[in-house]
Amino acid sequence: MVKHSSVLLNLKLDFMNVKTVSRFGWLSIVVVLFAQCHQADPEPALIWNRQDALTVADVRALSGPNLPGSIQLTDSGKEGLFRAIPGDESSTDNTGTVLVTANGIRYKREYTGDASAVWFGIVPGVDDIGPALQAAVNAVDVLIIPDGTYKQRQSVLLRSGMTVRGNPGKVVIELPNSYASFVYLTRPQDSPQPLENILIDGLSWNVTSQEDTQVGTIYIDGPTVNNLTIQNCSSRDEAAKDSTNWLTVKIQSGKSASNILVANNDVRAKRMACEIFNHDNYGVYAGKNITVQNNYFHDSWFGISLSGPMDGLTVDKNRIVNCSFYGIEVAGAARNVKITNNTFEGTFSRFLAGSNDGSGEGQGGGAVLTGTEITGNSTVGRVTGGIQLFNGGPTKFANNNFNMTGMLELGHSTTGGTFTGNVIQTTFDRAVVCDNVANNTFANNTLSNKPSAGNYATFISYGNRAVNNVLRNNTLEKGGGSGTYYLSLSGGSTIASGNIDENGNPIP
């Protein structure tokens, strides 16, 4: 309130400057005087020993001078205790954990354990859970979404320290407009804070959007990422218009990604089910400790693609079915790579591929995998497609069992590898080709292109750089026709010893 002395002083000065004041002028002065002396509305008093049972709408409508210190919320699914927080003038009403009255008093939910999405208005039948899901993700650390089918039109921005969990297979999020459910996009110059400690668990998506986009269901492009787990989820997008990934993690220049786990997911994606790549940090191992395991990836262009310089990659126990280009691809100069115990079914171009650099097949370069193990993998029945290793380096390739229509092709940088205890059978006119690569050792394998009607050679060393490839103590089975068990062409050389045919007869 303005002090009386100040008001009277102002009136006195006004009076001295006015020669004639009409009766209406005096009335105006009186009105002004009373207006300036009017008391401000008093702060609402909180009665701490008073607790009211109210709905969300009731709480928001509160405006009286005396308000309860606590509220027992009565809305179905949103029940809980809220306490007034005096002095809080900034918390936003999010329906779930903060409610704001008409006169600005904040009430905050008191709870232990996990938060329910229902608190925030995330329920089946809502046309777009996106805004409420964003509010929930911003407000709580662990969010549980109850069983049901939901519709999401607006993408949710990921944040550090968030967990979103549902009952696997029973929480379905339909994406009729946006392809992206969870996303984090930034420009390199923005230098955002790291994105850390995130768990997405047990959610399912059905992507039906007919819009144009390049952003997929879970899309992270920009920040440094650490401790990201995506597990027990499922997704399908065959009814969508565009070809997008289910999971994308792009490592931007100057950033890194570490401790990523993608496990126990069932995904059909028109482009790639899982793509993690480091193409902007040439020669820098910016991706570390990345595991993709126990997933079922199917009916996609690629199943799994891990590309660019990264260290500590594990691809284990995945079921890969009908991926039209590559089933599993590791591209570029990754270190300490383990591709183990995966199964392949159906039709591929290459069901297993080591591409020479982060740009894809046929780009040349000299990127080499180091510390690579490809062991215990197998096909289910005969698959369409073959194996390509262009960046294998001194790969350990052991105890795999493949029945296929293509060949095992070693090229570019795959030198010094050891191939032992494998069973490789193909309908192609050659089973193994060392194409201008040297010093690879094949020992104690069964190599067969017996199903081929037109055998060229079961094993070939081709080109003047394909020297000193060792073929020792293998069982070789060749197809019909005039072809041979092994062949060296165009300057290549094969050192063969102790090999036998399918009947146990020595092969000269």
**Range in 134-148, 239-253, 360-374, 449-463 with the lowest mean pLDDT:** 360-374
Query: CA angle, 72 as apex, 67 and 78 as ends, to 5°?
Result: 125
pLDDT on residue 288 = 98
pLDDT on residue 455 = 86
Q: Parallel, antiparallel, or unpaired for β 66-73 and 80-84?
A: antiparallel
Query: CA angle, 459 as apex, 490 and 502 as ends, to 5°?
Result: 150
> pLDDT for 49-98, tens place per residue?
999 999 999 999 999 889 999 999 999 999 999 999 999 999 999 999 99
Looking at the predicted structure, is the pLDDT value of residue 443 above 60? yes
pLDDT on residue 413 = 87
Over residues 409-433, mean pLDDT: 96
> pLDDT for 278-318, tens place per residue?
998 888 999 999 999 999 999 999 999 999 999 999 999 99
What backbone torsions phi and psi does residue 74 show, to the nearest 5 degrees?
-115, -5
Cβ pair 385, 329 in contact under 8 A: no
**Range in 295-299, 362-366, 420-424 with the lowest mean pLDDT:** 362-366
Looking at the predicted structure, is the pLDDT value of residue 8 above 80? no
pLDDT on residue 447 = 98
pLDDT on residue 388 = 96
Chain centroid to CA 110: 33
Over residues 257-282, mean pLDDT: 96
Question: What confidence category does residue 339 fall into, taking pLDDT thresholds of 50, 70 and 90?
Answer: very high
Mean pLDDT of the chain: 89
Question: What confidence category does residue 243 fall into, taking pLDDT thresholds of 50, 70 and 90?
Answer: confident
Looking at the predicted structure, is the pLDDT value of residue 2 above 70? no
pLDDT on residue 188 = 66
Please report, rounded to a whole number, the percentage of residues in the chain having pLDDT higher than 70: 88
CA distance 316 to 265: 13
Burial class for 336, CB neighbours closer than 10 Å (0-12, 13-18, 19+): middle
Question: What confidence category does residue 191 fall into, taking pLDDT thresholds of 50, 70 and 90?
Answer: low
Looking at the predicted structure, is the pLDDT value of residue 19 above 80? no
CA distance 301 to 296: 14
Residues 6+ away with beta carbon under 8 Å from 34: none
pLDDT on residue 189 = 64
pLDDT on residue 361 = 44
Looking at the predicted structure, is the pLDDT value of residue 24 above 60? no
pLDDT on residue 368 = 74
Which residues lie across from 143 on neighbouring strands? Answer: 115, 164
Nearest Cα to 351, choosing from 331, 313, 321, 318? 321
Neighbours of 326 (CB within 10 A): 27
Please give the DSSP secondary-structure letter assigned to residue 428: S
> pLDDT for 459-506, tens place per residue?
999 999 999 999 999 999 998 777 899 999 999 999 999 999 999 999
Handedness of CA 66, 72, 77, 78 (dihedral sign): positive
Amino acid at 442: F
Query: CA angle, 179 as apex, 174 and 183 as ends, to 5°?
Result: 105
Please report, rounded to a whole number, the percentage of residues in the chain having pLDDT higher than 90: 77
> pLDDT for 376-394, tens place per residue?
999 999 999 999 999 888 9
pLDDT on residue 365 = 38
CA distance 270 to 281: 27
Over residues 415-437, mean pLDDT: 97
